[in-house]
Amino acid sequence: MRGKRIILGVTGGIAAYKSAELVRRLSERGAEVQVVMTAAAREFVTATTFQALSGRPVRDSLWDAAAEAAMGHIELARWAELVLIAPASAGFLARLAGGMADDLLSTLCLATSAPIVVVPAMNQQMWANGATQANMATLRSRAIDVFGPASGDQACGEIGPGRMMEPTEIADHIEQKLFVPGPLSGRRVLVTAGPTRECIDPVRFVSNRSSGKMGFAVALALRAAGAEVTLVAGPVQLPTPLGVRRVNVETAEQMFAAVQRELPGTAIFVGTAAVADYRPATIATTKIKKTAESMALDMVRTTDILAWVAARGSERPFVVGFAAETDAIEQHAREKLLRKNLDMIAANEVGEYKAFDCDDNALLVLWRGGRAELPRAAKADLAAALAALIVARYAEQPALSGRSSAKG
């Protein structure tokens, strides 16, 4: 819903308190939310609450001299890509069905060409009333979507249909309604990100400096391209990208197990994780005491997850690897591309103040017969550019692009 312009109409009813949470849920998914309140709604919740959550002044009157000097209600009606009324009281639904325009919200509904969604909330007897059901039939005949109502305990003490749907559920429905198919729609993508931790004893481990930021940005960019994205994440303190399913792991062995489990049906695999190449051969069951001047660790190789995925034969997805190098970047990256039989590799220079723990980066992207240099930029912007390259290369390989769907 990033950038989608939504008018949230709030009418009078105890369920208006849920609308504050709904503003949060729509905003966190990227929508721009303009709240419009009826006079009755102001009796249940304040405009200040909605302004703080939406970042926009609340509109509540046709007679606002400042806004209406330039026919503000018409401008607002044109601005909206969707009008969502939640809660929609029985009284407002009746006025909407009757085509009335006696306040700002009802006027907007008549003046907009955007789709309208109503989320009813009222006493269960009011919902069952023949007049209300006739009004709902009228609204549905005009292609107005109706979400709910839910059934359960009501503020009046009665039980039955009439409860407003929960904000997260409403946001899910709105996201689906506004969804515009992207180039990876119907495709499953698996992304690994972050470091792994290989235990030495119960309090110590071997790891690396990967923050996971690049991998998380890539997962979000591929989700924005329409893919169904699963993110296998090492131990990092980052919020899960919106719309992405996250699987948390700690060790290389756990990451490999997660990839094995999630790979079936995957169309594209992107290995951004900095997986440990070695792990301690044995893990002490108690803390190792500081008794000697030196200590030797016997290390053994971990499974090469990227190479394993690239060798899957008929189950093999389009495989994108990452190469973190301190020198001879292109030489090492191209050798890795060929040795592991990858479809694409993104290489970057690492070291002090480079890539690790930074919010920006630069990438050299290689594939057989081609290359692209992505100059230093914020990792989110860099991930979007990389995702575009992945989409383009994937589309050029019909045997792969027709292989997997979101249903596996």
Query: Does 156 qualify as catalytic in the annotation?
Result: yes
Distance, CA of 159 to CA of 107 (rounded, Å): 33
Task: Report the amino acid identity of residue 285.
Answer: T
CA 1 to chain centre: 9
Six token digits for residue 71: 């026919």
Contacts of 69 (CB under 8 A, 6+ apart): none
Contacts 24+ apart (CB under 8 A), 329-338: 329/364, 330/364, 330/366, 330/371, 333/364, 333/366, 334/366, 337/366, 337/367, 337/368
What residues have CB less than 8 Å from 338, skipping those under 6 apart? Answer: none
Strand arrangement of the beta sheet that strand 268-271 belongs to:
245-248, 228-233, 188-193, 268-271, 318-325, 344-349, 360-367, 370-378
Angle, in degrees to the nearest 10, between helices 130-141 and 90-97: 50
Residues 348, 86: Cα–Cα separation, whole Å: 48
- 109, 156, 199, 358: the catalytic one is 156
What is the rounded distance in angstroms from the CA atom of residue 115 to the CA atom of residue 121? Answer: 20
Active site residues: 156
